[in-house]
Structure 1
């Protein structure tokens, strides 16, 4: 034992000396290349004197990076994440300036802007050298990654013999998209898993095919009363938005109250980069806890400190951040020059938002997952959002999105490699929360948005540009006919009282219309009495697939074009407007109808089964949130060591069903396998 300890100490000292030597050489090379960087006196010095100066400066810079940088990162937790990339370079350059100033030889001078470049290069070289040397030593490799994730607790280097489980969510990656990427050779790690160690299962989302509903159901076992990504609640007079911290915290509270259970990760779990905690003790970058006062280990942004406490990590991620911003600007410019269709605007802050999702969030979450594995945690659930963000604006099948998938596969390979060095065996489950359906936006095809169409159908004023569209003219004509006004005199419009103005919200290709002055969910009969042309205008519009409204006579009805009106309890015999949306659409619509906060009018866009396209009510050419196409077909890639997700002949439907499967797998690692009861399978 004592001999092994001394060998580890000697090995670590050897690596430190090697990194110091490489850093010294790097500084000498940079001093010879960069005109504004000098490490010798103006009169010249001997080669030995120059080398000693470089060695001291490199050593001082290394020590400052190790000692001072973590303190700076703690302060950076107060800085908005998008500003972090710029500050990394400035602070790292400042450390180099300090290192040169404290050099006892008095030599060493560098311009501030050059110091940023020198510091970045030296940090990157030192990190690469240390990593290359440490990777040859399993213990050192484990300790290095352990330090990067800042884990100071856990079962120690000899963890339990039972396997842990890592759930990695590839946000927005549909079942067919995953298979296509593997077929093109973009995801070799996933391809290796598919060859024998894992089984691929397609599952179906609920009507609300978006991260808020899916992840709440997966992590907490209930997504009841989550009708969309955003919706209006009449009892509280608030708009709920799934990615708003206060809304996420309330949705998690409701789910826990409904199930009576803390979540999937209550037993020694970790939640990383998610909207919800899953009941985990270890939480970082979790939205539902962002408004709470918590300790450093589990507050929502604690994961940033764990990653950026290593200056080399900070520099590498910051450089990748800048490169990603440039990549997005180049790609969006190319689509405009080539006049590609469909396309949406990608200017403003979007390049920074994309870079944060595809670089910063990915790097921080991957490092946190590896740290959890080296800490021996029993269950880890992490969300990687890169593909979803890019696919919204570039398209789910675009080259831009495919390149993101290739980079995500490299992250999966890194996590798989870390699993081989963890103190306990790990099983990796790869899954997605929804897919994405392509298609141009509703506005780009018809010249007006859903909100403007609703206002026109209510007889309310709309922008002049929307009035001149074919859809706007038809809506005004329908209003005049319903009000028995065959002629629009003097451009006058019917103007109902302000109390009847609706709130119109969009969640991908799902729209929600609510009348806030009515405290209950309005019925079809009440809507017709107040706005006699509205439902007809919406149902007959070519860009709308169907409507769901409450009926005083039938309880709930689906409305479609040409006067189609199908009660919910008759959809199995006559799907009517739902026929184009697949066999599971009727069950999904019936379930949402029973939610307390379902909108007065639920609007699903049209869907073309031939090409899988939908029309998003938001400015997205890859969308999800409603029914239609690949958005409702995510995947579950699980180790064959686990029991099959569902019984043969059944299809896994709904996020709550996925929760039960994942929970069963966690129990299997500690005891005999428990089969999934047939009653838990919702068949599409």
Structure 2
């Protein structure tokens, strides 16, 4: 299936290059899927990487030949990837099961293996819609190819899409994505501050903070961000002040300032959980993931913090130091205005 998506995406890009579309953006997700399932350097993942590379060669060749437009080709990873140990494999239960046991409550939703299937199904739906919308603008031979491509996507979707019940009515919701988890306490309609959680769920917090599979427990208190470390340290940060007690909760991370900046941004988002958890980061660079994965990303620490960008050498003098996706986006739209 991943090879089919790669071929379809390549076909779309080549067609738009031939038509002279001024700006193109395409996602090649095959390596990501294979690495999650098998591991960063597994033979299946590396085969997919070589397959994608061969398709990029085709795209690069045609972009050079499209002289009337003059394309610049950028190859960007939206994240890195870290070798992972699943929470369930290490501790014999999912994070949701652990939370349920520690709180003596039923947990409504624990995203694990199903979330990967849901993501694949969402991509399949997107591609089906894109094929349907584009068919009327394609020449006859391309329309026939598009119709044939839709069939395996529809078959794939019917097999993979899980039957979800999104009517969540319990007191606690656990939502995970790789080594990152959000816990929501629905005893109130408003986001809860960390001191409130600690007061209402004191026994649970004792089980959670210091758990061998959880590096950080993060919450908010008004305009403060509170970071609780696995070894008992506490860090409190506001916009202009940082206070730390005990062992530094961020000692496991190479770039402490970057990690703190990202945590402050995350927990202040309106959709963020009442508690945010990061899976443990080992000295080896391996990370505890809350999904069933051999490699992971979405949290902080290890290889997942190391994305890359490949760009034309001629642009080096004009390309500033890029420290965030937002900065890269601003540079791109300034250089290639809509």
- TM-score where L is the length of structure 2: 0.74
Q: How far is 1:433 from its partner?
A: 0.5
Aligned pairs (5 A) from 1:115-154: none
Q: How far is 1:439 from its partner?
A: 1.7
Determine the C-alpha separation between the residues in 1 that align with 2:97 and 2:268. 28
Report the counterpart of residue 436 of structure 1 in structure 2.
Answer: 81
Choose 1 or 2 for highest CA Rg. Answer: 1
Q: 1:456 aligns with which of 98, 101, 104?
A: 101
- 1:418 aligned onto 2:92: no
Determine the C-alpha separation between the residues in 1 that align with 2:61 and 2:231. 58
Report the counterpart of residue 602 of structure 1 in structure 2.
Answer: 276
- 1:528 aligned onto 2:203: no
- 1:457–1:531: 8 Å Cα contact kept in structure 2? no
Q: How far is 1:385 from its partner?
A: 0.7
What value does the CA root-mean-square deviation take over the aligned residues?
A: 2.4
- TM-score where L is the length of structure 1: 0.38
Q: How far is 1:567 from its partner?
A: 0.5
Determine the C-alpha separation between the residues in 2 that align with 1:573 and 1:527. 20
- Deviation track 1:199-223 (CA, whole Å, cap 9, x = no partner) reads xxxxxxxxxxxxxxxxxxxxxxxxx
Q: How far is 1:549 from its partner?
A: 1.1
Q: How far is 1:502 from its partner?
A: 0.7
Determine the C-alpha separation between the residues in 2 that align with 1:613 and 1:573. 26
- Deviation track 1:377-429 (CA, whole Å, cap 9, x = no partner) reads 11101111110010000101212111111111111111122224325232211
> CA separation of 1:645/1:588 partners in 2, compared to 1, >3 Å: closer, same or farther?
farther
Report the counterpart of residue 110 of structure 2 in structure 1.
Answer: none
Listed as ranges, the gaps of 5+ residues in structure 2 are: 108-167
> CA separation of 1:428/1:499 partners in 2, compared to 1, >3 Å: closer, same or farther?
closer
Q: 2:187 aligns with which of 517, 523, 526?
A: 517
Deviates more, 1:526-535 or 1:583-592: 526-535
- Deviation track 1:515-573 (CA, whole Å, cap 9, x = no partner) reads 12311111222212321112221111011000111225x72200123542211235587
Q: How far is 1:637 from its partner?
A: 0.6
> CA separation of 1:563/1:572 partners in 2, compared to 1, >3 Å: closer, same or farther?
closer
- 1:393 aligned onto 2:34: no
- 1:580–1:607: 8 Å Cα contact kept in structure 2? yes
- 1:442–1:450: 8 Å Cα contact kept in structure 2? yes
Q: 2:254 aligns with which of 549, 557, 582?
A: 582
> CA separation of 1:530/1:500 partners in 2, compared to 1, >3 Å: closer, same or farther?
farther
Determine the C-alpha separation between the residues in 1 that align with 2:30 and 2:318. 26
Q: How far is 1:579 from its partner?
A: 2.0
- 1:504–1:511: 8 Å Cα contact kept in structure 2? yes
Q: Secondary structure at the match of 1:382?
A: coil
Listed as ranges, the gaps of 5+ residues in structure 1 are: 1-355, 463-497, 671-684
Determine the C-alpha separation between the residues in 2 that align with 1:636 and 1:545. 29
Q: Secondary structure at the match of 1:379?
A: coil
Deviates more, 1:566-575 or 1:556-565: 566-575
> CA separation of 1:548/1:644 partners in 2, compared to 1, >3 Å: closer, same or farther?
farther
Q: How far is 1:369 from its partner?
A: 0.7
- 1:635 aligned onto 2:280: no
Report the counterpart of residue 304 of structure 1 in structure 2.
Answer: none
Report the counterpart of residue 131 of structure 1 in structure 2.
Answer: none
Determine the C-alpha separation between the residues in 1 that align with 2:301 and 2:206. 22
- 1:541–1:561: 8 Å Cα contact kept in structure 2? yes
Q: Secondary structure at the match of 1:653?
A: coil
> CA separation of 1:645/1:618 partners in 2, compared to 1, >3 Å: closer, same or farther?
farther
Q: 1:561 aligns with which of 230, 233, 242?
A: 230
- Deviation track 1:311-332 (CA, whole Å, cap 9, x = no partner) reads xxxxxxxxxxxxxxxxxxxxxx
Determine the C-alpha separation between the residues in 2 that align with 1:384 and 1:499. 37
Q: How far is 1:646 from its partner?
A: 4.9
Determine the C-alpha separation between the residues in 2 that align with 1:394 and 1:524. 37
Report the counterpart of residue 5 of structure 2 in structure 1.
Answer: 361
* Number of matched pairs: 272
Give the 4+ runs in structure 1 shifted more than 3 A: 569-575, 643-647
